Amino acid sequence: MIGVAPSGFRVRAPRVDNVRMIERVLPDGVEAAEHAGPPLPAPLFPAEESAVAKAVPTRRSEYAAVRACARIALRRLGVPVEAVPTGPGRAPVWPQGIVGSMTHCEGYRAAAVASAEDWSGLGIDAEVWAPLPPEVVEMVMSLSERSALGAVDPAVCPDRVLFSAKESVYKVWYPMTSSWLGFEDVEVMLGDGTFVARIGPAGLGTDVLHGRWAVGEGLIVTAVALARSGVVDPCS
């Protein structure tokens, strides 16, 4: 258990515009690209086609659109554009020497990339700004986490923020360990635009990750970046 906020303390949400929104929660040295609105048509590399060969049109269009974001982010990092196929566990397979993460939800998609020389792992997540269904809250949060959310402004949908934070943590965890991490294995404490995640299983060289979150224009975004030095980056 990470703990709960002090009595009388109320966590506030950083409100941002969704233009360059994902960049607000990422540290220096990480490049990102995002797009809001209906997915734009985008070509796929042959290596990417197999993952959506039998997919419905909406799934295929989102898959292609988020990879268009990935290609923009890679160019901003100065990396030649390559295929980003789907690997085991449905995680994206990034070019050699790159760590990255993708996310998409209704009306929004984003990708972030960084050099593997500087960063061990990177995770981003975007969610629609709305409360979680009660049955999902019980599934993804511990009693201590639900209690701590009482210190967070309910208008920001803190249950969804916490869910998103755990998704970002998983996107760091899986590429580094190739193993499952359940919601119950991660304990998250929200702060003012930041969060701390304590991980039960070993595997990352640290049991604590620090990240950032923001809300705006109907969206919630979260990010976690783990520095190669072994120091957990606070995304500050």
What does the pLDDT read at residue 201?
A: 87
Residue with tokens 């606070």: 234
Give the residue with greater pLDDT, 3 vs 215. 215
For 183, phi then psi, to 5°, come to: -55, -35
What does the pLDDT read at residue 13?
A: 45
What does the pLDDT read at residue 166?
A: 98
For 2, phi then psi, to 5°, come to: -80, -35
**Model confidence pLDDT, tens digit, residues 116-167:** 999 999 999 999 999 999 999 999 999 999 999 998 999 999 999 999 999 9
User: What's the CA angle centered on 20, arms 19 and 25, to 5 degrees?
Assistant: 130
pTM of this structure:
0.89
Q: Domains in the chain, ordered, with CATH?
A: 22-118 (3.90.470.20), 124-233 (3.90.470)
Find out whether 226 and 120 touch, Cβ atoms under 8 Å: yes
**Model confidence pLDDT, tens digit, residues 16-69:** 444 578 999 999 999 999 999 999 999 999 999 999 999 999 999 999 999 999
pLDDT above 60: residue 197: yes
Mean pLDDT of the residues in the chain: 89
pLDDT above 60: residue 89: yes
What does the pLDDT read at residue 202?
A: 85
Find out whether 213 and 164 touch, Cβ atoms under 8 Å: yes
Rounded to whole angstroms, the Cα distance separating 61 from 42 reads 8
